[in-house]
Amino acid sequence: MADQSEPAGSKRRILEFLLANMGRIIDGEELRAVSGNASEWARRVRELRTEEGYQILTHRDRAELKPGQYLIETDKRLPAFARDISKETRAFVLERNGYTCQMCGLAAGDTDPFDPTRKVRLTMGHTIDKSKGGADTANNLRAICTNCNEGLQNSAPQKPDRLHLLTQLRRATIEDQLAALEWLERKFAKNRPKRQDG
The span of 55-63, 108-116, 142-150, 175-183 binding Zn ion (CB under 5 A) equals 142-150
d(CA 14, CA 20): 10
Q: Is the dihedral of CA 17, 19, 20, 22 positive or negative?
A: positive
**Binding residues for Zn ion, total number by CB under 5 A:** 5
CA end-to-end span of the chain = 66
d(CA 173, CA 68): 41
Closer residue to Zn ion in complex, CB, 14/145: 145
Q: Is 56 in the site for Zn ion (CB under 5 A)?
A: no
The span of 58-66, 129-137, 147-155, 161-169 binding Zn ion (CB under 5 A) equals 147-155
Residues 6+ apart with CB under 8 A from 74: 22, 55
Closer residue to Zn ion in complex, CB, 101/141: 101
Q: Is 94 in the site for Zn ion (CB under 5 A)?
A: no
Q: Is 26 in the site for Zn ion (CB under 5 A)?
A: no
Closer residue to Zn ion in complex, CB, 15/148: 148
Residues 6+ apart with CB under 8 A from 60: 126, 129, 130, 131
d(CA 147, CA 63): 21
Q: Is 145 in the site for Zn ion (CB under 5 A)?
A: yes
d(CA 14, CA 56): 11
Closer residue to Zn ion in complex, CB, 155/196: 155
Site for Zn ion in 97-116 (CB under 5 A): 101, 103-104
Closer residue to Zn ion in complex, CB, 26/145: 145
Residues that bind Zn ion (CB under 5 A): 101, 103-104, 145, 148
